Amino acid sequence: MFSDFFNRLDSIDYFVSTKKELLAEKNRAMLLQLGNGLTIVVVLYLLVRFSIDPGRLPELRFWVLFAVLLAYRIEYKCWLSKILLSFNTTRLIVLLNYYLFFMASAYLEMREFDASHTPIFIALILALPAFYTDYFQVYFLIETVIGISYFAICHLVSPGTLSWQACFEMMAAIMFSLVMVLAIFGNQAESVTEEKVFKEKSDTDLLTGLKNKIAFQDESKEAIRNKPLGTASMLLILDFDNFKLVNDNYGHQTGDDVLKAFANILIREFRVVDIIGRVGGDEFMVMVPSIPFESTGLIADRCKNILHELNVLKVGKAHSFSCSIGIACDYKGMTFEEMYKLADDALYESKERGKATYTIYSSGKADE
């Protein structure tokens, strides 16, 4: 039960994280619809009350609510509908306006209805999941704040009139609205999560669990585009030496096990933020997207460790493996294609020098 609940939360979080631009537009547009709905309800109520008591004009509290609704309509017409805002900015605007709607409506309800203080509160709380989409934690926070605010209004405007029954109704409305969030977005979010799993599988090399060639290239290009200023990028091409002999002498199953062991060596030697891929049968690549200029020498140490671990590796009867490594070190902002060409030239140099070694090319110069 609890695992299912947390899986749903994870699904909703992923759903929101992957659709922020779409949700930002949807959330601010739906808030306008909520304002229109509140306006219609208040106007209809005033018409009914005026038909019963024609001489009774709207009190100040009604004009306060109308002012809040009108302010948002002007805000939306003159500003919100004309610009693109980030998801976080839209969240702040939408929830602030919703909170003002709620406070004005709650104050009106306190003054207008003596017997019950909860109908408008319950309606607005239950309306939140219907018009607003966000992380579950944000729902929980905003509804907690609204509940506390409502208690404060009751105490200030009409002290001693909020019964235990009304308190229970308010808490039940908040809990039910959170259940609605799970129900409304849970299935949709889970379907998006399934898409995520499918994409991860399609981006993964089935044998080693590393990125496949296309995924490696796409992620590497994105990483170097977003590289912080003042850092270098490094691309490594690692080509297994004489891998055909492993398959011929020990069988393809042993060959597969050797490749998986090699993948595990790379995972141990590089950081979580580094991108590791199997881009060919026995060819691997590693993108170190950002590293301080003064730390680029650490990659040479990583290469020495990799060569040593391969040399002492035993898989069944097979042992004493090696690979050739070509490294492109970019200080100036090269493209992925330019780095690949540089690393490939460095790899060729390593092969020419007898294999089982590494070569670093930086600005077209080689040094061991």
Residue after which a domain boundary falls, among 140, 168, 202: 202
CA distance 306 to 276: 14
In three-state form (DSSP H/G/I as H, E/B as E, the rest C), the secondary structure along 59-94 is CHHHHHHHHHHHHHHHHHHHCHHHCCCCHHHHHHHH
Mean per-residue pLDDT for 249-254? 93
Q: What is the CATH number of the domain that holds 291?
A: 3.30.70.270
Query: For the whole prediction, is pTM greater than 0.85?
Result: no
Check whether residue 65 and residue 44 sit in a common domain.
Answer: yes
**In which order are the strands placed within the sheet that holds 231-240?**
275-278, 283-292, 231-240, 323-330, 358-362, 365-367
Mean per-residue pLDDT for 269-288? 94
Residue after which a domain boundary falls, among 202, 233, 268: 202
CA distance 150 to 186: 28
Check whether residue 196 and residue 220 sit in a common domain.
Answer: no
Residue 216 has pLDDT above 90, yes or no: yes
> Which of 368 and 255 is assigned the larger pLDDT?
255
Confidence (pLDDT) at 367: 46
Residue after which a domain boundary falls, among 158, 182, 202: 202
Confidence (pLDDT) at 12: 75
Assigned domain for 25 exists: yes
Assigned domain for 143 exists: yes
Check whether residue 326 and residue 245 sit in a common domain.
Answer: yes
Burial class (CB in 10 A: 0-12, 13-18, 19+), 326: buried
Check whether residue 157 and residue 19 sit in a common domain.
Answer: yes
Assigned domain for 207 exists: no
In three-state form (DSSP H/G/I as H, E/B as E, the rest C), the secondary structure along 109-123 is HHHHCCCCCCHHHHH
Write down the catalytic residue from 205, 239, 274, 282: 282
Assigned domain for 53 exists: yes
Confidence (pLDDT) at 7: 67
Check whether residue 186 and residue 117 sit in a common domain.
Answer: yes
Check whether residue 223 and residue 139 sit in a common domain.
Answer: no
Assigned domain for 208 exists: no
Confidence (pLDDT) at 288: 95
22 near 203, Cβ under 8 Å?
Answer: no
Check whether residue 99 and residue 219 sit in a common domain.
Answer: no
266 near 254, Cβ under 8 Å?
Answer: no
Greatest Cα pair distance in the chain:
102
Check whether residue 53 and residue 179 sit in a common domain.
Answer: yes
Assigned domain for 191 exists: yes
Check whether residue 183 and residue 234 sit in a common domain.
Answer: no
318 near 306, Cβ under 8 Å?
Answer: no
Confidence (pLDDT) at 116: 53
Tally of domains in the chain = 2
Assigned domain for 117 exists: yes
Helix (H) or strand (E) segment spanning residue 275: strand 275-278
HSE-up (13 A, CA, CB side) for residue 166:
17
42-56 confidence digits (pLDDT tens): 778 777 777 777 766
Find the domain containing 288 and state its range: 213-367
Assigned domain for 140 exists: yes
Q: What is the DSSP string of 132-176?
A: ----HHHHHHHHHHHHHHHHHHHHHHSTT---HHHHHHHHHHHHH
115-169 confidence digits (pLDDT tens): 455 677 788 888 888 788 888 888 888 888 888 888 787 777 666 666 677 777 7
16-40 confidence digits (pLDDT tens): 777 787 888 888 888 788 778 877 8
Whose tokens are 């490696």? That residue is 216
245 near 196, Cβ under 8 Å?
Answer: no
Check whether residue 179 and residue 290 sit in a common domain.
Answer: no
Confidence (pLDDT) at 113: 60
Check whether residue 343 and residue 221 sit in a common domain.
Answer: yes
Query: Quick check: is 4 catalytic?
Result: no
Residue 229 has pLDDT above 90, yes or no: no
169-210 confidence digits (pLDDT tens): 778 888 888 888 777 776 665 555 555 555 555 678 889 989
Quote the tokens at residue 301: 């140490």
Residue 241 has pLDDT above 60, yes or no: yes
Check whether residue 141 and residue 263 sit in a common domain.
Answer: no
Q: Are strands 323-330 and 358-362 parallel, antiparallel or unpaired?
A: parallel
- Mean pLDDT score of the chain, rounded to an integer? 82
Mean per-residue pLDDT for 260-276? 94
Confidence (pLDDT) at 368: 46
Residue 364 has pLDDT above 50, yes or no: no
Of the ranges 80-94, 239-253, 286-300, which one carries the lowest mean pLDDT score? 80-94
Kindly give, in sequence order, each residue whose CB lies less than 8 Å from that of residue 183, ignoring residues fewer than 6 positions away.
Answer: none
